[in-house]
Amino acid sequence: METEHVKPEVQKEYVNNYLDHVEIIENFEAEQRKPLPAMDKQTKHDLEVILRDGYIIISDVLPPSVVSDLRSIIHSIPTPFGRNNFEGTKTVRIQALPAKHEIFDYIATHPRVTNIMDRLLLPNYLLHTYSTIELHPGETSQPWHTDASQFRIPRDPSLNAIPHTHISANSMFAIDDFTEENGGTRIFPGSHLWPQGRLPDLEKDRWVACDMKAGGLMVWVGGLWHAGGANRSAGKRLGVLAHYCQPHLRPQENYALSIDPSEISKMSPRMRSLVGFSVAAPQFGHVDGVHPLRYITKHMDGGRLQYQKREKWERKGELIGDAKI
């Protein structure tokens, strides 16, 4: 797909440069992880489309039995609407998914996604946010944004800083059909190649809405301008979004595990903040949507942090999506 303001030859050079450098990514820090198997045709195709357009939509990735399990599991977790325009005041978002149910392990590690992420991000990349997003009728469109901008790292205008061009990348599995009418994610194709400071021009730039059936998957890079759509339909639009980021976007030491949570409230606010028990704008460091200190206070019992029980899940039924992997 061609995109305004990015010359086709620049776009082509970018894709070719990147693919040349995939070998570097595949072997990068190989001592930490076995080198990746050679890229198969399908992954190469997915990657080429993502690098060219900034996103890809893939049909029939999740089998109907998994879609139906996900829908009932998600609806069994009561959660209020979002608190602002970005979260969506008519949108239900459930967070801390790996703490809640094993089905979310399956989704976050789905090979159709990880085969792509393995080549966009460095080994041991992280889940950055992971939530279910259900737009209810009447939801308005989300503000336009790129996911990577929250890291406040300038976009690389030469488009050549491999492999760091991609600070993060995102995936959305459709649990309901996504349409323009019910709030399918809106995208400016090719906008991942826009230079630093270039904002969407709503009079000139053309956006498209993600149109995919339940079980479909959209993957996009962190630099792509997009937004959740407005839900003008009478039904809901449910998706599961897993956003991954580079592995070094965190402190070297993992204090959250080494410090007894009962000690945190005894620390000074400054010290507490230094070891990560804080929320930095826009929402770095929250735990299941709340400030970590509030989370600890709420979940402490007998001087120990009580964890919720993780529900078990076993995959059953057909292999429709997986058969293509």
Is 231 an interacting residue with respect to ligand AKG (CB under 6 A)?
no
Query: How many residues are recorded in the chain?
Result: 325
| The binder of ligand AKG chosen from 216, 228, 276, 321 (CB under 6 A) | 228
Total binding residues toward ligand AKG, as defined by CB under 6 A: 5
Is 47 an interacting residue with respect to ligand AKG (CB under 6 A)?
no
CB burial of residue 257 (10 Å; 0-12, 13-18, 19+): exposed
CB burial of residue 19 (10 Å; 0-12, 13-18, 19+): middle
> Quick one: 43 or 142, whose CB is closer to ligand AKG?
142
Give the span between the Cα atoms of 32 and 66, in whole angstroms: 32
| The binder of ligand AKG chosen from 146, 185, 191, 231 (CB under 6 A) | 185
Is 191 an interacting residue with respect to ligand AKG (CB under 6 A)?
no
* Lookup result for tokens 């323009």: 180
Give the span between the Cα atoms of 205 and 19, in whole angstroms: 28
Q: Which two tokens stand for residue 181?
A: 């009418």
Is 200 an interacting residue with respect to ligand AKG (CB under 6 A)?
no
Is 223 an interacting residue with respect to ligand AKG (CB under 6 A)?
no
| The binder of ligand AKG chosen from 52, 155, 192, 226 (CB under 6 A) | 226
- Measured CA distances, 291 to 109, 250, 275 (Å): 27, 18, 14
Is 168 an interacting residue with respect to ligand AKG (CB under 6 A)?
no
Per-residue interface string for the shown chain with ligand AKG, residues 117-156, x marking contact by CB under 6 A? ----------------x--------x--------------
- What is the contact surface with ligand AKG in residues (CB under 6 A)? 133, 142, 185, 226, 228
